[in-house]
Structure 1
Amino acid sequence: MKILGSFKGKSLHTINETGRVSIPSKFRDILKSKYNEESLILVSLGSHIVAYPVYEWAKLEEAWEKEPPSDPKVKKFIKYLYSTAEDCTIDRQGRILIPNILREKTGLSSECVIVGVRNKIEIWPKDKWDAEFEHIDVEDMFNTISEQFPEINL
């Protein structure tokens, strides 16, 4: 079985004055080889943007259609996601245009951190990424959660 890979790793990028940012080439390669596309669906999660390959977004939609959520909070969250969803295509220079409304919602301005997380890409304002992840005690965190994930086996 051929394993096509997942999105992983992080890199620092700059968003230009028109809202364009380069997607790391290793992520573009996965989009082409695994998904056979160069399009993404962007949604805001408040602190950051999540960029789903169209195929992965379609799987979410299919799950919501197959088993519509009954919890009012989940319905409200899904409605919020759809209200922020934007289709985007990677241009010839390997960039995407992040719409102004998404940049405003998340506080993206110039420096951002682009992170691969399995089947999606996250785009964080650098200051929010640093506040959330750069000063965590990884050893303590691992010790706290390791019993829940014995398959990590580190």
Structure 2
Amino acid sequence: MSGKVMTFRGHAYRSLDPKGRLMLPQEFRDVVLSAGQHGRVILTNFDGCVVGYSLQEWEKIEESFQRINMLNRQLRDFQRFFISGAMELELDKQGRILIPPHLRTYAGLTREVVLAGVGRKFEIWDQERFEEQRRKMEEGFDLVMDALAESDCELRI
């Protein structure tokens, strides 16, 4: 893939099968496979959804946790929550991942889900929760645009 960092983008509506397996969109599978880790992903709990990372990205996250101040109780609690929720999984031959029960429960995943590409990671949302999050964002759109204007992020439209 010529050294270019591939990112997850877009979103897709999917259904979990009765065993909790989820077919990743082809574009997401391509990103996972381009990382050269034999289709391995890390799933964890975050922000009310299940978050997926390539193994390569996850290793950067774990390394960054080595630099946190362990005297700070909130940071220790977050590290415990985030890292202990993580599971390493491998895509099966059909391009599916099995979402572990603890992550399905955390994110309220039952049947209908949305996979959302968010740059270096992808998110798996219960469809109703995802639509609610989109509505909330749309309601606060002007505030978000103001915050972007004050940050280092340039949004050229």
Q: Please confirm whether the aligned pair reaches a TM-score higher than 0.5, indicating the same fold.
A: yes
How many residues get paired?
A: 152
Residue 133 of structure 1: aligned partner: 134
Please give the root-mean-square deviation of Cα atoms over the aligned residues, in Å: 1.9
Q: Distance in 1 between matches of 2:3 and 2:40?
A: 23
What is the CA distance between 1:89 and its match in structure 2? 0.6
- For residues 1-154 of structure 1, the aligned pairs below 5 Å read 2-33=3-34, 35-37=35-37, 38-45=39-46, 47-65=48-66, 67-70=67-70, 71-134=72-135, 136-137=138-139, 140-141=142-143, 143-149=145-151, 151-154=154-157
Identity of matched residues, %: 28
1:100 CA displacement: 1.0
**Structure 2 regions of 5+ residues with no counterpart?**
none
Change (3 A) 1:131 1:139: closer
Residues 42, 86 of structure 1: 8 Å contact kept = yes
How far apart in 2 are the matches of 1:96 and 1:28? 10
CA contact (8 A) 1:21 1:96 kept: yes
Q: TM (normalized to structure 1)? A: 0.89
AA of the residue aligned to 2:48: S
Residue 139 (structure 1) shift: 5.3
Give ranges in structure 1 of 5+ residues lacking alignment. none
Moved over 6 A (4+): none
Contact 1:46 1:105 in 2 (8 A): no
